[in-house]
Structure 1
Amino acid sequence: MKLYAPSTIKQIKEQYDFKLSKSLGQNFLTDKNIIDKIIEDSFIGEDDLVIEIGPGIGVLTAAAAEVAGKVIAIEIDRNLIPILKDTLTEYDNIEILNQDILKTDLNQIIESNTEIDGRKTKSVRIIGNLPYYITTPIIMKILEEGVKADSITIMMQKEVADRIKAEAGKKAYGALSVAVQYYCSVASVANVPKEVFVPQPKVDSSVIRLDIRKDKPVELFDERVFFECVRAGFGQRRKTMLNSLSGVCGLSKEAIAQVMQSIHIDSMRRAETMNIEEFALLANEIYNYQRG
């Protein structure tokens, strides 16, 4: 069964009287080339555990199951569970969970699957076609909770992907860019036009792969201080760093000016010009200043 075919999607909707949920951002991919590209660029192997977020009717799930040791598909819509059990019935290496990804302990799932068919699990790959409205919370949950995965290959709204990939000095560069790039190296996989979805969304999508870093790109004395500086810096983008950071970690405007002067960063700069190394330098100096 070609699950990606529009005719199959129509047949499944009619057979199960299934109505697509706008609130859950359900848009089903119909381009096999994109499906193959996602699987190929996820580097899934026969000893790997794949965790899929939002399998829908099982298009990516089936493709992943062909090459993975085991696939765990996490779907929030209970109306899709019987459909998934039907469309994926030929695969014995798929487990379907009716859960909310934001409330799911992914590390517990990983720890329960350290072996696949008696062989040690080699890598953990997360894949998915994420609902636009909840993309950022899902990504940051995985990264901030320290989920023991090797990579995350996901489709999202192109605008969000552009923000994640953006470098300092670019218009799209912001707090999300810094946060994701601190935890991961980012690779582009594919741009996906809106025309290859059912129903068709209003905007184009992109697929990116986030390879979770074993070693962070900068050394931090305190991650909390670093992210507080990043959030404050981008909180009001038009302000200078001096004004944006006033009050960060309880420091006065004068103290911030002193800190920035000591590390030779112009306090009149804006956050969008600051790269991750400069944010780290700033955060570490603020940490030292706090401790006298």
Structure 2
Amino acid sequence: MKQKNNRKPKLGQHFLIDHRYKNLIIDNVNNLGIKNILEIGPGAGAITSELVKYSINFLGLELDRKLYLDLKNKYKDNNVDFLNLDAGKMNTEKYDFFQEKYILVGNLPYYSANMIVRNFITTTFKPKYLIIMIQKEVAENYLSQVPNMKFIGHTIQIYTKVKKITDVPKEAFNPEPNVNSSIILLETKKDNEIIEYPEKLLSFIKKGFSSQRKTLVNSLSLSLKIDKDLLNKELININIDPKLRPGNLEIHDWIKIFNTIIKL
């Protein structure tokens, strides 16, 4: 039996060691046919060598300084580079790599996955696809649909089309995390497919989810400090049931509500 090192994770790192899931990620990258590849958190290089072989241009972002130096020393090809920085705060406009169509691939740290994903799907030079491994519960929220829609689902689905590839058991990692993971595929939408002023709408939706177990009229009246009777009337006027809960609403419902409330 293969023994695990069981080292303490640093910077939220859990390294993928099961070759079945490594191969599945590589196969999905190959199927997309884009050879400019950005890897977030290559770590010990579980899939890096295969990505480098496949790519025309490869860029890896590694926050751990020691791992970053190990990777820089290992890969010397002209079309391969690594940066020691935080992917959640990276400005893609500063680097030539992002001028071309590219894929983002990564086993993302649980604690910073949302920040990293949101940074890249809202940036000027966004990836065409993201193949990422994240905590299973978070992946389910990304994929959520009515009547159990989550706020985080809106923040992702406004900008991307999301598909689950597979779930990954915690035993596939070293050190072993406390939770299972999922590999998902996100395809970023074209600019003309994204609603106007998406961040303004998301800020409004967030207020609606501030008390998501309450009915819509109660949640919005509390967060927006609007008279409940007035709000109830306005929701009925646009054919929105005030007794619905936030998770029952599609994005087009929120747009109708937002356009109505800003006039009050």
TM category (shorter chain) comes to 0.7 to 0.9
The answer as to whether partners of 1:107 and 1:148 remain within 8 angstroms in 2 is no
The 3 A distance-change label for structure 1 pair 31 and 198 is same
Which residue is equivalent to 2:189? Answer: 213
In structure 2, the residue matched to 1:127 is: 105
Evaluate the alpha carbon distance shift between residue 60 and residue 256 of structure 1 in structure 2; reply closer, same or farther with a 3 A threshold: farther
Change in 2 beyond 3 A, CA 1:207/1:241: same
How far does residue 129 in structure 1 lie from its aligned partner after superposition?
0.4
Contact kept, 8 Å, 2:110 with 2:135, in 1: the verdict is yes
1:16 matched residue in structure 2:
none
Contact preservation (8 Å) 2:142, 2:152: yes
CA 1:255–1:147: 2 relative to 1, 3 Å: farther
Cα separation, 2, equivalents of 1:216 and 1:285: 23
Partner of 1:97: 83
Return 150-159 or 96-105, whichever deviates more.
Answer: 96-105
Q: What's the offset of the Cα at 1:32?
A: 2.1
- Aligned-pair CA distance for 1:223: 3.0
Displacement, 1:247? 6.1
164 and 224 in structure 1: CA distance in 2 versus 1, 3 angstrom threshold: closer
SS in 1 for 2:240: coil
Partner Cα separation in structure 1 for residue 214 and residue 181 of structure 2: 31
CA RMSD of aligned residues (A): 2.5
Q: 2:207 touches 2:224 (CA, 8 Å); kept in 1?
A: no
Q: Which residue of 1 aligns with 2:232?
A: 257
- Superimposed CA distance per residue, residues 38-58 of structure 1 (whole angstroms, 9 cap, x where no aligned partner): 12223454x632111111012
Show the 5 A alignment for 1:198-277. 198-215=174-191, 219-220=195-196, 222-246=197-221, 251-277=226-252
1:54 matched to 2:41? The reply is yes
1:77 to 42, 64, 85: 64
Measured against aligned partners, the alpha-carbon deviations of 1:13-32 in whole angstroms (never above 9, x if no partner) come to xxxxxx95634111111122
Asked if 1:33 corresponds to 2:11, the answer is no
Give the partner amino acid of 1:155.
M
CA contact (8 A) 1:71 1:95 kept: yes
Distance in 2 (CA, whole Å) between partners of 1:21 and 1:128 is: 20
TM-score (norm 2): 0.88
Percent of matched pairs sharing the same residue: 29
User: What TM-score, normalized by structure 1, do the two folds share?
Assistant: 0.80
Which residue identity lines up with residue 263 of structure 1 in the other structure? I
Contact 1:189 1:209 in 2 (8 A): yes
Please tell me whether residue 166 in structure 1 is matched to residue 144 in structure 2: yes
Contact preservation (8 Å) 1:183, 1:216 = no
Question: What residue in structure 2 maps to residue 118 of structure 1?
Answer: none
Going from structure 1 to structure 2, the CA distance change for 1:50 and 1:264 (only over 3 Å counts) comes to same
Match for residue 193 of structure 1 among 156, 169, 175:
169
Query: Residue 22 in 1 paired to residue 9 in 2?
Result: yes
SS in 2 for 1:236: coil
Q: How far apart, in 2, do the equivalents of 1:226 and 1:92 lie?
A: 43
Measured after TM superposition, the shift of residue 254 of structure 1 is 4.2
Cα shift at 1:183: 0.6
- 2:94 equivalent to 1:108: yes
Q: Gaps spanning 5+ residues in structure 2: where?
A: none
CA 1:199–1:101: 2 relative to 1, 3 Å: same
Contact 1:44-1:68 at 8 Å conserved across structures: no
Q: Gapped runs of 5+ residues in structure 1?
A: 1-5, 11-18, 115-120
* Cα drift, residue 108 of structure 1: 2.4
Return the letter of the residue paired with 2:237: S
Gap change, CA 1:44 and 1:84, over 3 Å in 2: farther
